[in-house]
A and B are shown apart, each in its own frame.
Chain A
Amino acid sequence: MISFEHVSVQYADAPAPSLHDVTLEIPEGELVLVVGPTGSGKSTLLRTINGLVPHFSGGTLTGRVTVDGLDTAEHRPRDLATVVGLVEQNPSSTFVTDVVEDEVAYGMETMGLGSTTIRRRVEETLDLFGLTPLRARSLRSLSGGQQQRVAIAALFAAGPRVLVLDEPTSALDPVAAEEVLASLHRIVHDLGVTVVLAEHRLERVVHHADRVVLVDEGHVSELLDPAEAMRRSQIYPPVVGLSRLVGWSPTPLSIRDARRKAAGLRQALGDSAPPTGADLRVVGPADAVRITGVRVSRGARIVLDGLDLAVARGSVTTLMGRNGAGKSTLLGAIAAQHRLSGGKVRLGADGVDPHTRSARERVRTVGLVPQQPELLLYTDSVAAECAAADEDFGAAPGSARALLDRISGGIDPAVHPRDLSEGQRLELALAVILCGAPEVLLLDEPTRGLDYGAKKRLGEMLTGLAAQGTTVLLATHDVELAAEVADRVIILADGEVVTDGPARDVLASSPAFAPQVTKVLLPQTWLTVAEVAGALARIA
C-alpha cells in the first residue's frame, strides 16, 4: 500500500539527513506504529506519506515514496487527499470550518463528491465515531478528545485508504485516549483502512498495533512484530520494562497478557510489602499552598467553584482528571494568571497573596511552566534566552545557563528555541522559571511530546527540587509520571476535588489512572518497575 524505496530527506541547514535510506513496504489493512525518541524523524516519515514533505515543508527527498501506486514526487498533497488522510498533532489548529458537521463534510466537498453521497457519508461517519450527539456543536466548544475524534472522522469521511496520525493521544486524558483508539481499531478491523501512527505513549497504543517500525536518528527498521520490536526498542512502556526485568518471553504487550504471566512474580513479591508513605521523603507542614473557597470563571462558565486545598511544603502533588476538569485553571489561579471571583490563595510560609503582588515580586514565590512552554521564550537563541532570563529575574549572569545544563542533556546554545524538540523546549522554559527560585513550582501538562528518556530526567529533576524544599504541583494526564514522582494525587472532576490522597492509594484504586505495573500486579500496589526491581533485589 505504501512503499518507500531508498528514501532520504535532507532539510536545508540541517547537519544530518532527517531520514536516511529508508526502504519499507507497508501492506494494506495494517495498523503500523512508528516508535522512536523525540526528534528521531518520526514526523518527517509520516509527512512523506502524503507528500507534505517535501512539497510543503521544503527540503530534498531522494528515492521514491508511492502510495497506492501514486508517486508523491508527481502528485501534490492535495491530489493525494483521496488516498491519504493526515491527522496532525494539534487538531484544533487544523480545523477549516466552524461546526462539527461542516468539518466532516469539508474534505468530501473539496473532492467533488455528489451531495447525496456526502449526506450519506456524513451520517455514517458521525455514527461510526459516536459524534452524532455533537454534530451541531461548535468546534471550539469541544474537549480535546472530542476534537481529536472530529479530526479523524473528518479525514476518514473523505474515504482515504490510508490514515496517518501524529501523536493522536498525547494531549488526551486516559479515557479520551481510549475512545480515540477504539475508533481507530474499528476502522482498521471493520473497514480495512491502513493506519500509520506515531505515539510517545506506548503504554496506550502498543497492544493495538499489528506491526511496529523503530526509528532512530533517521534510520528506520523493517516492519517488526510488536513483541519482537519491544524486545529490541530502546524506548518501551512499563509493562515491557517489567517483562525485561523478570525475563518473560514472548514479551507481553497488554495488561491481560502480562497478568497471565505475573502469578509467579506476585508470589515472589508476596512477602515484601510495597514501600509505604513513611519511606518517602519527609514532607513539611501543609502551608506551601493554601486555597480556600476559590471560584474562577472563564467566559460565561464557572470552572472552579469553592475549591479548598492545602499542599505541604517540599512535596510533589499531581493534579489529574479529564480534559476540561479545571486543572489548568487551578494552576493559573495559583499563579495569578486568572482573576479570582471568590476565595483566596495564600502561598509559602509567609502567606503571600499572589493576586496582590506585582509580577516582579510574585515570581519569587510561584513559578508556572505553561502548557505551551514556547510562550515563555522570546529571543532567537538559547544563549540569549538564558541571558534574558538572568536579567528578568535579577539573577547572577550565567545562572540560567547553569540550571539548563543541569536539567538538560546538553542543548546547543546557538539553536533557535523554536527549533528545539518539544522536550528540550520544556527544559529551557523550566530553567527560565527556576531562575526565579520560586518556593512553589507549577507545571501544566509537562510530558506532552516527551519520550521516556526526557520524562525520566524530568521526574528526577522534580524529585530533586522537592528534596531541596521546593513545592511542586503538576497537572498531567500521564499516570506513569505521576507514579514515578507524586507523593499525593488529587483527581479533579468538573472543578471539584473528587479524590485526594497519597499517590499509591489513589492511583492503585482508580481504574482509569492506575499505572501499568499496578494493573499487572494488583492486588499488590507496586507503582513502578524500579520499585519492583528494588524489592526483587532485596529478596535475592
Chain B
Amino acid sequence: MTRPRLKARLQHPAAWWLWGLGLATAASRTTNPVLLLLVIGVCVLVVSERHDPATVNPLPAFLVIGAVIVAFRVVMTALLGNGIVGDTVVLTLPSVPLPDWAAGVRIGGTVTLESLLYAAYDALRLAAVLACLGAANALASPRRLLRYLPATLYDVGTAVVVGLTFAPQLLTDARDVRAARTLRGRDGRGMREMARLAVPVLETAFERSLGLAASMESRGYGRAVRSTTTSRRAATGLALAGLVGVLAGLYGLLDSSAGGVLGLPVLVLGALLAGASLLVGASRDPRSGHRRDQWTWTETVTVVAGAVPAAVLVVGSVQGWEGIVPSQQAELPAVPLLAVLAVVVSAVPAWITPRPREVAP
C-alpha cells in the first residue's frame, strides 16, 4: 500500500450509525437470500475489522437472535402454513381437523418447499436488518452517540444510559442470583423458583441503576442549561416531535409496503424539527468534548458506502428489477448484479477507515 496508514482513532459514531441504517434500508427492500446473506457477511467483516475493542461486541448476540427468528418462522410455517401455494411437497404432517369456523387456519398437512422458502427469505430479511443494527452497535457504542443528545433531553439521556447498562447487567445479576440460590440448596429451576429469583434480580438491577443515575447527577450531567422553562419545554417538544418524525420516516424507508407519505419526506421533516430543537434549547449547551469526534473524509466515505446499497435497492424495488423480490418458485433466485455490487461497496469501510484505538484487555 502506498497510502500512509491512518492514525488509530474511533470514527465518528454518527458515521457508523448512518452506514448501518443505510445497509439496513437496503436489506429491508429485498428478500433475495443471496443479497441478504451478503449484507450479513458485510456486517461481520466490517465489525471484525473495526469494532470498538473497549465494549463487548454485541453482533454475535444479534446474529443468534436472527438465526432464532429464521428457525422459528420456518418451523411455524411448516406447522401452520402461510398461504403460499406450491407444487413441491417436502413432507406431509398429520393434519388436525378444525371446525368450520376456523376456515383458513390449518394445523399440519402438506408442507411445500415454496412456502418454506418464502418464510425463510422473509425472516432472513429481518435477521439481516438486525445484523445491521448489531454492527452499528459494535462499531460505535450508543453511549458515544448519546453525547450528541442535546442537554435539554437530560432525562431521556439519563434513562438511555441507565437502560444501556441495565440490560446487560440484568443478565449478569440473574446468573449471580441463580448461582447464589444453589447455596440455599435450590437449583433455581421451575416456575416457582423463577418467581423467587425475579425479585432479588430486579432489586439488584434497580439499585445499580439508581447508583448510576446518582453518579451521573453528582458528576454534573445535564447541569446548568441556562435557559428559561418555556424555551426548554419548546425545545423538548420539538426534539420529541423530531425524533418521532425521524422514526416514522425511517419506518417508511424500511418498509416498502407503507404509504408514500411516510418515508423520505417525513424523515427530512423530522430531522429539521430535531435540528430546530437543538437551536432553540441547546444553543447554550455548555458541554464540550475530550477528543471531540472528528469528521474527515473517511467518515464521508463510510456514509456514502452505506447510502449506495440503500439507494440502489430502493430504486430497484420501486422499478421492480428482477431478483430483488425473488419469485415464489422452488428455484435458485436470479441475482441482480448491480445490487450485489452495491452491497459489496458497503464493505469498503472495513479497509479505508482508521483502525480503532488499541485497548488492552
**Which label, helix, strand, loop or mixed, suits the secondary structure of the B interface?**
loop
Q: Does B3 contact A (CB under 8 A)?
A: no
Determine the distance from Cα of A88 to Cα of B291 in the docked complex, in whole angstroms.
27
Chain A 64-97, CB within 8 Å of chain B: the 1/0 string? 0000000000001111111011101010011111
Chain A 43-82, CB within 8 Å of chain B: the 1/0 string? 0000000101001100000000000000000001111111
Given A77-B218, A78-B220, A107-B220, check contact A136 B184 (CB 8 Å): no
Which residues from chain B contact A86 at a C-beta distance below 8 Å? 218
Contact B187 A98 (CB under 8 A): no
Q: How big is the B interface, by class? A: 35 or more
Contact B141 A98 (CB under 8 A): yes
Q: Does B91 contact A (CB under 8 A)?
A: no
Enumerate A94-111 residues with CB–CB distance to B below 8 Å: 94-99, 101-102, 105-111
Which residues from chain A contact B290 at a C-beta distance below 8 Å? 101-102, 105, 108-109, 115, 118-119, 122
Contact A136 B358 (CB under 8 A): yes
Q: Does A418 contact B (CB under 8 A)?
A: yes
Which residues from chain A contact B358 at a C-beta distance below 8 Å? 136
Q: Which residue of A lies closest to B199 (CB)?
A: A378
Contact B360 A111 (CB under 8 A): no
Enumerate B85-124 residues with CB–CB distance to A below 8 Å: none
Contact A112 B288 (CB under 8 A): yes
Which stretch (A183-191, A357-365, A484-492) binds chain B? A357-365
Which stretch (B58-66, B203-211, B268-276) binds chain A? B203-211
Q: Which residue of A lies closest to B162 (CB)?
A: A96
Which stretch (B75-83, B173-181, B229-237, B248-256) binds chain A? B173-181
Q: Does B224 contact A (CB under 8 A)?
A: yes
Q: Does B352 contact A (CB under 8 A)?
A: no
Determine the distance from Cα of A229 to Cα of B224 in the docked complex, in whole angstroms.
40
Which residues from chain B contact A380 at a C-beta distance below 8 Å? 199
Q: Which residue of A lies closest to B290 (CB)?
A: A105
Contact A106 B219 (CB under 8 A): yes
Given A376-B180, A376-B183, check contact A81 B286 (CB 8 Å): no
Given A94-B215, A96-B216, A392-B184, check contact A112 B196 (CB 8 Å): no
Q: Which residue of A lies closest to B177 (CB)?
A: A375
Contact A378 B200 (CB under 8 A): yes
Determine the distance from Cα of A138 to Cα of B220 in the docked complex, in whole angstroms.
23
Closest beta carbon of chain B to A334's beta carbon, Å: 12
Q: Does A520 contact B (CB under 8 A)?
A: no
Chain B 43-84, CB within 8 Å of chain A: the 1/0 string? 000000000111100000000000000000000000000000
Contact B220 A88 (CB under 8 A): no
Contact B141 A111 (CB under 8 A): no
Determine the distance from Cα of A120 to Cα of B35 in the docked complex, in whole angstroms.
49
**B217 is contacted by which of A56, A82, A122 (Cβ under 8 Å)?**
A56
Determine the distance from Cα of A122 to Cα of B214 in the docked complex, in whole angstroms.
23
Determine the distance from Cα of A396 to Cα of B67 in the docked complex, in whole angstroms.
50
Chain B 278-319, CB within 8 Å of chain A: the 1/0 string? 000000011111111000000000000000000000000000
Determine the distance from Cα of A363 to Cα of B182 in the docked complex, in whole angstroms.
8
Q: Which residue of A lies closest to B182 (CB)?
A: A359
Contact B55 A98 (CB under 8 A): yes
For the A-B complex, the count of residue pairs with Cβ-Cβ distances under 8 Å equals: 178
Contact B220 A110 (CB under 8 A): yes
Determine the distance from Cα of A95 to Cα of B164 in the docked complex, in whole angstroms.
12
Q: Which residue of A lies closest to B200 (CB)?
A: A378
Which residues from chain A contact B161 at a C-beta distance below 8 Å? 96
Contact A119 B291 (CB under 8 A): yes
Closest beta carbon of chain B to A147's beta carbon, Å: 13
Q: Does A261 contact B (CB under 8 A)?
A: no
Contact A367 B219 (CB under 8 A): no
Closest beta carbon of chain A to B162's beta carbon, Å: 10
Determine the distance from Cα of A483 to Cα of B222 in the docked complex, in whole angstroms.
49
Determine the distance from Cα of A101 to Cα of B9 in the docked complex, in whole angstroms.
13
Which residues from chain B contact A337 at a C-beta distance below 8 Å? 179, 182-183
Determine the distance from Cα of A85 to Cα of B196 in the docked complex, in whole angstroms.
38
Which residues from chain A contact B183 at a C-beta distance below 8 Å? 335, 337, 359, 363, 367-368, 370, 376, 433
Determine the distance from Cα of A400 to Cα of B359 in the docked complex, in whole angstroms.
49
**A436 is contacted by which of B185, B203, B215, B224 (Cβ under 8 Å)?**
B185
Contact B287 A112 (CB under 8 A): yes
Given A93-B211, A111-B286, A112-B286, check contact A377 B200 (CB 8 Å): yes
Which residues from chain A contact B200 at a C-beta distance below 8 Å? 374-375, 377-378
Given A102-B290, A141-B361, check contact A78 B141 (CB 8 Å): no
Enumerate A338-395 residues with CB–CB distance to B below 8 Å: 358-360, 362-363, 367-368, 370, 372, 374-378, 380, 389, 392-393
Contact B212 A96 (CB under 8 A): yes
Q: How big is the A interface, by class? A: 35 or more
Q: Which residue of A lies closest to B210 (CB)?
A: A56
Q: Which residue of B lies closest to A97 (CB)?
A: B143
**A138 is contacted by which of B216, B219, B361 (Cβ under 8 Å)?**
B361
Given A90-B211, A122-B290, check contact A137 B360 (CB 8 Å): yes
Closest beta carbon of chain A to B208's beta carbon, Å: 5
Which residues from chain B contact A96 at a C-beta distance below 8 Å? 143, 161, 212, 215-216, 219, 221
**A56 is contacted by which of B204, B208, B214, B287 (Cβ under 8 Å)?**
B214
Contact A115 B291 (CB under 8 A): yes
Q: Which residue of A lies closest to B187 (CB)?
A: A359
Q: Does A158 contact B (CB under 8 A)?
A: yes
Determine the distance from Cα of A82 to Cα of B199 in the docked complex, in whole angstroms.
38
Closest beta carbon of chain A to B306's beta carbon, Å: 24
**B219 is contacted by which of A90, A107, A374 (Cβ under 8 Å)?**
A107
Determine the distance from Cα of A88 to Cα of B161 in the docked complex, in whole angstroms.
18
Which residues from chain A contact B207 at a C-beta distance below 8 Å? 418
Closest beta carbon of chain A to B200's beta carbon, Å: 5
Which residues from chain A contact B291 at a C-beta distance below 8 Å? 105, 115, 119
Contact A81 B359 (CB under 8 A): no
Determine the distance from Cα of A119 to Cα of B203 in the docked complex, in whole angstroms.
39
Which residues from chain B contact A113 at a C-beta distance below 8 Å? 288
Which residues from chain A contact B143 at a C-beta distance below 8 Å? 96-98
Which residues from chain B contact A137 at a C-beta distance below 8 Å? 359-360
Q: Does A114 contact B (CB under 8 A)?
A: yes
Q: Which residue of A lies closest to B161 (CB)?
A: A96
Closest beta carbon of chain B to A401's beta carbon, Å: 16
Q: Does A432 contact B (CB under 8 A)?
A: yes
Counting chain B CB atoms within 10 Å of each CB, the highest count among A122, A137, A359 belongs to A359
**A109 is contacted by which of B184, B214, B288 (Cβ under 8 Å)?**
B288
Enumerate A481-502 residues with CB–CB distance to B below 8 Å: none
Q: Does B357 contact A (CB under 8 A)?
A: yes
Closest beta carbon of chain A to B175's beta carbon, Å: 11
Given A90-B211, A99-B359, check contact A360 B218 (CB 8 Å): no
Contact B212 A79 (CB under 8 A): no
Contact B218 A81 (CB under 8 A): yes
Determine the distance from Cα of A108 to Cα of B291 in the docked complex, in whole angstroms.
12
Determine the distance from Cα of A50 to Cα of B360 in the docked complex, in whole angstroms.
35
Which residues from chain B contact A112 at a C-beta distance below 8 Å? 285-288
Given A115-B288, A137-B359, check contact A52 B214 (CB 8 Å): yes
Q: Does A155 contact B (CB under 8 A)?
A: yes
Which residues from chain B contact A432 at a C-beta distance below 8 Å? 184
Which residues from chain A contact B186 at a C-beta distance below 8 Å? 359-360, 392
Given A81-B223, A94-B215, check contact A374 B185 (CB 8 Å): no
Contact B54 A98 (CB under 8 A): yes
Enumerate A387-430 residues with CB–CB distance to B below 8 Å: 389, 392-393, 418
Determine the distance from Cα of A105 to Cα of B358 in the docked complex, in whole angstroms.
18
Contact A99 B212 (CB under 8 A): no
Given A88-B215, A392-B186, check contact A79 B179 (CB 8 Å): no
The list of the 3 closest CB pairs from A to B, nearest first, reads A81-B220, A112-B286, A105-B290
Q: Can you spell out 19 A-B residue pairs with CB atoms less than 8 angstroms apart?
A: A82-B220, A86-B218, A88-B211, A90-B211, A94-B211, A94-B215, A95-B215, A96-B161, A110-B221, A110-B222, A111-B286, A112-B285, A115-B291, A115-B292, A138-B54, A138-B359, A335-B183, A363-B185, A418-B207
Given contacts A110-B287, A138-B54, A359-B187, 4 further A-B contacts (CB under 8 A): A78-B220, A112-B286, A115-B288, A136-B357
